[in-house]
Each structure stands twice: as C-alpha cells, then as structure tokens.
Amino acid sequence: MDGFESTEEDCVMTKGHYETICLCHNDVVGHCGVFGTISLIRRCNLHKRFESLGSLAKLVKMFVKSCPVCQLTYQLLRSRYPITEMVMHEFFSIIDFDWVYLGLDTLGNKEALVGRDRFTRFVEIFPSTTATGEEFGRYLLAIAGRYGAPAEVCMDGPQVFTSHFVDCFLELLGTTRKTILTYRPTANPAERTIKEVIRHTRALVVDRPEVRDKWSVYIPIVTSIINNTFCVSTHSTPSKMMYGDSHNHIRGILSAHGSPKLRELNHAHDYSVAHGLIMAADYDFQNERINHALSMMPAMCASLVYRTGDYVVAKLPAGDRRPKLSPKFRGLFLVLKTEGNNGSSVHVRNVVNDKVEVIHAQDLFPIDLSVLSSSDEILSIASGLVAVPEYLVSHVSDHRFTSTQHKDSIILASHLPALSFLCHYKGLPESESLWWNEYKDVSHLTLIQTYIARSRRLIPAVAADGQNLDRHNVPSLMAFMRLHNIPIAGRRKQDLLSAIESERRIRQGQNFD
C-alpha cells in the first residue's frame, strides 16, 4: 500500500502483502493479534506469498499496530506526552491562584482566594465577600507589596480572572497570565492546596463548631498549619524556606518562649551572619534539588507535541456510563493547534459533529489511520466511537447540593463539584426518566453548561442570608446589584428595589424565550 513503509530494515509493505493480511485480519475471521493472524495465514497456505516467515512476522506486526480496530480494542494506544515536574528558581516568581467556596459566615465572607508560591509552596489565604476581579486585584496587590510583583500568575478561565480590569492590572504590574485547565490538579497546583484548606478548616469546625460561623476569623490558623507542614518535594516547610529556622509557629504552644538575654555589642551582626549561613545552606540544597529534578525530566522534543492534522482519541471522563462492549475512548478528533507550556493544551475538532474542545495532552492518544485509504473509512471509525447506545439527556430542569439537597439560587464555579442536576432522559418510561446526577458525571453535556449559564443570569428573590431584599439597607442592596451585574440607578432604597425587580422580569423573559 502506498505510503505504508516499515521502520524495519529490508521490510516494505506492498499492496499485495496488505491485501493478503487483510484476508486473515478483519471483522469476519477476527482481529486476532499478531500471532493469531500469522497462524491463520499459515493455515490458509498464504505464507508463501512472503519472502520469509521473519518478513511475514514483521509485516503482520506493522499491520496490527496500524489497524484502527485493534488500536481501540486491544488498549494499544499510549499518550506520548511526558509527565514533567514544575521546577522554580525564585521566591514568588510564579503564583497559582484559585477561589474556594467555604460558605457564608456572620461577617459576610463566603469565598477565599488561595495564592500559592510555586517555588516555596508558601500559601496566602484571603477571605472575601465576593469572587470578583476587583477583589482579586486587591489581594494580588497585597502579595506584590509583600514579596514583589510576580512574573507570572496561573489560574483557570472563569470571567473573574479574565476580565478587562484584571488584564489592565496585570499589565501595570508587568505580570503575565497563564490560563490553565479547570479542575485539573496536575495543571493547577492551587487545586491541591484548596483541598488542604478545606480539610484543615473542616477539622477546625469538627473540633470547635463555633468556627463554622466565623471561619474567616480563624483562617490564619489554617494558613499557619499549611505553611508549617513538612513538604516532601522540598524537604522543608514553606515557612522555613521563606524565613529560615527563626520562624517557630509552635512557640508558646508546644515549646517555651525564649528566655530574655542581655544583648552583646555585636549581637545583631552575629545574628545576621548566622541567618545568612542558614539561608545559604538552604539555597544550596534547593539548587541541588532543582538540578536533580531537571536531570530526571524526560526530554521534550517536537515529536512529543501533537501537530496540526494528527488524529487522536481521548480517554473517557470519570463516571462516563458507556456499555461494557463499547470502545473505552471518545473521539475521533483532529488536532487544530496546541497552547500552553510544552503544548499541553490541545485544541481538537470532532470529525463527526465538528465540535471544538480543549483537552490536556496527557488525556489524548494518537491513533494511526494510515491503513485507511479514504475519508469515508475514517468517518466510519469516528461514527463507531460516537454512535454508542448511551443514555441521552433531553432536558435539565433543576439543581441542588448533593449532600444537603438544598438549592442555592446562585451557581458559582466553586459550587459545581458539590451540585447535582435533575436530568430528563429519552427513551425511558416516565417513572424512570428523571435522575439526579452529580456534576462530575454530566459536566461534559452541552445541556448542563447551557442550564448553568441560564441560571447564572437569573436574579434570586432573596439575599445570600435568606432574608427578603426589602429588609436590607442601601449598601447591601448595592452590593447585591453589583454581584448580579444590575445597573445601579439612584441611591434611594425604593429605587434600588424597583431596579432589581425590573431587571429580574427582563431576564426571566429572556430565559423563557
């Protein structure tokens, strides 16, 4: 077959060889692997068409590796993207940010911005009433004032991080932004830190229930715990990497306060020299760790990056309910372009429905379709991956928190992992057509994203504390209007309530249409 040459020496796949192997490797006689196909060729006395048994074995191996059906069913596909470690060299040069929802407390705080230095793993946590670009800018300025403006900030793609205000502020700081994939801990280290924030805050609430209603007051305790916990990657604690051995967060708790001593004439100088020696030793160790990590990284070359025009398939999302006999991949996709460090974010287009997605390179598997001679055959393989007897969702009508079954009128990005959605399924009896599904199981559905976008436009009838709007004062109403992007006209309470009600009716009509 033209263009189907082997990498082995003195072994070329000709059209005659290709047609002979096709007779003994198809959906009628079976896709039996290399040895099964060779055995069938010999039983049919077709091995005489080859120069030798060694040549036959090499050609059959080439054919099976390039057979689309075998690649999808024998688990032959492997991601060629290497797993690399993030290695930094400077304090607070690159910072990972993300918001975490911790619930409304009595001080009005319900979100917290988590910032994590990628070099030292040092964490800053800022309680906030809202997750907006203005709040993010205020806290980023606080970090820049303490440690210097970062060279790069890494965050996912919600509007709070991609607004025009944030773009202008980053430009003023001379900081570049790197947008990464949402809900992927390997791409965003802040996701892992958020799990620690939630875990330690929850532990405080279990030990002391009064913390629940004032968690923003106690969040410095969580910050201290995280920053003074030993990190295996750095063989130190974040606080010790930042401030040396002088920082002792258990002073007065598990260890006694130091006894006062009479300072000698050169005390400050001696203390400074000792501290410098500690930091120099720590710096030498970090250089050793960095060099070791760099030497262990797999080589990154152009052949490992997906190129425009490559055919790939993707692994199924967690919780995908596909029948046992269906291929455990989704696709078929055509690579359009790559973005990010080392081409880690891949833009692909589904060859069946032309839908464009952005998928991490580690979740993609290159598939060899060189044995297919026409686009119709490629489309047939792609249709086989898409046209599987899945449960089809026709409508999404409601949402609630999975654990409490309570419905919050506002759907925030931080809420999504904890939500369930009421899905209507096609082709099922009426009594069985409604199911509550967790977000992680249906997040890939376009209907879910449409429902979330529609719900976010609606304006709730009550405030975040559950009270009617007419019981709130003017500053609270103005904060409510800013949260829901309602134009503020006037300063009188009645005018604000009228504007909110008018905007609510307009948006309800738009969603109904």
Alpha helices in 212-371 (DSSP H): 215-227, 238-243, 267-296
> Does the pLDDT value for residue 393 go beyond 60?
yes
Q: How far is the CA of 298 from the CAs of 60, 72, 234, 278, in angstroms?
A: 31, 27, 20, 33
**Residues 106, 213 contacting (CB under 8 angstroms):** yes
> CA angle at residue 491 from 490 to 493, to 5 degrees?
110
Q: Half-sphere exposure (CA, 13 Å, Cβ side) for 188? A: 23
- Distances in Å between the Cα of 141 and the Cα atoms of 94, 150, 242, 408 are 15, 10, 19, 32
Instruction: Give the number of residues written for the chain.
Output: 513
Give residue 126's pLDDT band: very low, low, confident or very high (50, 70, 90).
very high
Task: For 149-184, write each residue's pLDDT tens digit.
Answer: 888 888 876 666 777 888 888 888 888 887 766 555
DSSP state of 487: P
CA distance 22 to 41: 10
For the full predicted model, state whether its pTM sits above 0.85. Answer: no
Q: Tokens representing 398?
A: 């409601």
Per cent of the chain over pLDDT 70 is 79
For the cut 60, the answer to whether the pLDDT of residue 85 exceeds it is: no
pLDDT single digits (tens) 58-74: 888 888 887 877 777 66
Q: Inform me whether the pLDDT recorded for 186 exceeds 60.
A: no
38-47 long-range contacts (CB < 8 A, ≥24 apart) are: 46/20
- Which residue shows structure tokens 């080439």? 62
pLDDT digits 0-9 by tens, 466-495: 677 777 888 888 887 877 778 887 778 888
pLDDT level of residue 318 (50, 70, 90 thresholds)? low
pLDDT at 123: 92
Least confident residue range of 139-153, 156-170, 216-230: 156-170
Per-residue pLDDT tens for 359-389?
877 778 888 777 776 777 777 777 666 644 4
Q: Which pLDDT band holds residue 433 (cuts at 50, 70, 90)?
A: confident
pLDDT reported for residue 7: 44
For 66, list phi and psi in degrees, rounded to 5.
Answer: -100, 0
Mean pLDDT of the chain: 77
Q: pLDDT at position 124, please?
A: 92
Radius of gyration of the chain (CA): 30
Q: What is the dihedral of CA 403, 404, 406, 410, to 10 degrees?
A: -50
- C-alpha distance across the termini of the chain, in Å: 56
Q: Which residues contact 118 (CB under 8 A, 6 or more apart)?
A: 86, 88, 93, 94, 95, 96, 154, 189
